[in-house]
Amino acid sequence: MITKQQIVIFNTSADTLYHSGDYTSATILYFKTLFAIQDFLLLEKIGESPKDHNSRFRSLEQNYPELLKELDIEFSTYRDTYSKIIDKETCLRIKKLVDHDIQKYHIKE
């Protein structure tokens, strides 16, 4: 079960990597943070969190279509983290997305 505290920890770790210049690792952790936010919201709304990406997509489609749209746009970037070096601009784009969702969904209180 994902908690707000875990989300904040993932995000703080991603920020540390971002500030150290490790944009690939930071991007991976920003995506982990993003998935954790989505899972937390789904857990609160429907009482369960997804077990994999496919079930996350289906649950988001039914319950948070705006989050599915955001994820759909950036999922190829997530896949790129497995085989490519991520540049600062790409990492910053994902960081801003995560920061926006943390604010919007009141993760840090």
Q: Give the chain's domains with CATH numbers.
A: 4-104 (1.20.120)
Percent of the chain surpassing pLDDT 90? 97
Q: Which amino acid is at 23?
A: Y
Sign of CA dihedral 10, 19, 88, 93: positive
What pLDDT sits at residue 1? 84
Token pair 């937390």 in the structure block, residue: 40
The model's pTM is 0.95
Q: How far is CA 106 from CA 19, 25, 99, 103, in A?
A: 24, 25, 11, 5
Going by pLDDT thresholds of 50, 70 and 90, the confidence category of residue 109 is low
Cβ atoms of residues 34 and 63 within 8 Å = no
Q: What is the pLDDT of residues 66-104, one digit of tens each?
A: 999 999 999 999 999 999 999 999 999 999 999 999 999
Token pair 């209180």 in the structure block, residue: 109
Compute the distance between CA of residue 8 and CA of residue 95 in angstroms, rounded to an integer.
13
